[in-house]
Amino acid sequence: MDEREAGSGRVWLVTGGSSGFGRAIAEAALARGDKVAATARRAERLEDLVSEAPERAYAIALDVTDPEGVRRAVDEVLEQFGRLDVLVNNAGHGQVGAVEETPEQELREIFDVHVFGPAALVRAVLPVMRRQGTGAIVQMSSFGGQVAYPGFSAYCATKFALEGFSEALAPEVAPFGIKVLIVEPGAFRTGFSGGALAQSREMPEYAGTVGPTREMITGIDGTQPGDPAKAARAIMTALDSEDAPLRLPLGPDAVEGVRGKLDSVRADLERWETVSVSTAFEAPRG
């Protein structure tokens, strides 16, 4: 493991770096002596981060849904620091609404932010990391990337997509010395349940199924059990490991949620196995 892989002198590109997980990861990286290029739609929201370490922190204005902006951002990092070791695809927001409540435009917009934006960033950094022979891509998913609940269809669909994309990506880039880490947080004290939460127009027909989800997600704002700073340290620990996991659930709720999903999938698989395997084509006799 070289010096950068061990956490000394790495260069990070962190999207959505002005608050929440992005800010916590940026601060943790700077505390280790690393260099950080943090992005936000409004770069002035990163001024306090840059002031903490002006020689090692750099702010970039970026809307991750702008492909040209993505390319410029990666070029800026290379111009500023000369290399890029870790990409953290963190920019995003929450969304709650039943399938019927969520219009086409809202669905497309959240896919742009959570799937197409991260995909563009991955494509932009891979040539750099391949040339270096080392790198890491951190995909900030959610335990909602494996478990879906009423009212989170759009949000969970994007995280399921991001996880499938990343699961295929990992073996593609492993021969180049590039790690992929999918992070699956539960409820953490970020803006997810507050200002960063988009809510589709409510329909009374879904009050019984989606209503409780709306009440839960807005009701926990500011009291979520997870600490973003501890999440950042857990991510650093995983990245520094020789046998880093592909997926890293964070928080007891995430661990329990993922475990329950795995148990449910296995139970269905075993209960319906006879029907599932009975569909093989049988060649005609004679």
Set 141, 142, 166, 193: catalytic member = 141
Q: Which two tokens stand for residue 62?
A: 């970026």
Known active-site residue 35: no
Buried b / exposed e along 40-61 (16+ C-beta atoms within 10 A): beebebbeebbeebeebbbbbb
For 94, the enclosing helix (H) or strand (E) is: strand 94-96
Nearest to 21 by CA among 228, 225, 253: 228
Set 155, 166, 200, 206: catalytic member = 155
For the CA atoms of the chain, what is the radius of gyration? 20
Alpha-carbon span 67 to 69, nearest angstrom: 5
Alpha-carbon span 180 to 128, nearest angstrom: 15
Known active-site residue 153: no
Query: Any bridge partners for residue 185, and if so which?
Result: 250
Q: Which two tokens stand for residue 246?
A: 């592909």
Known active-site residue 141: yes
CB 98 within 8 A of CB 210: yes
Half-sphere exposure of 231 (CA within 13 A, CB side): 31
Buried b / exposed e along 172-184 (16+ C-beta atoms within 10 A): ebeeeebbbbbbb
Set 58, 142, 153, 159: catalytic member = 159
Residues labelled catalytic: 141, 155, 159
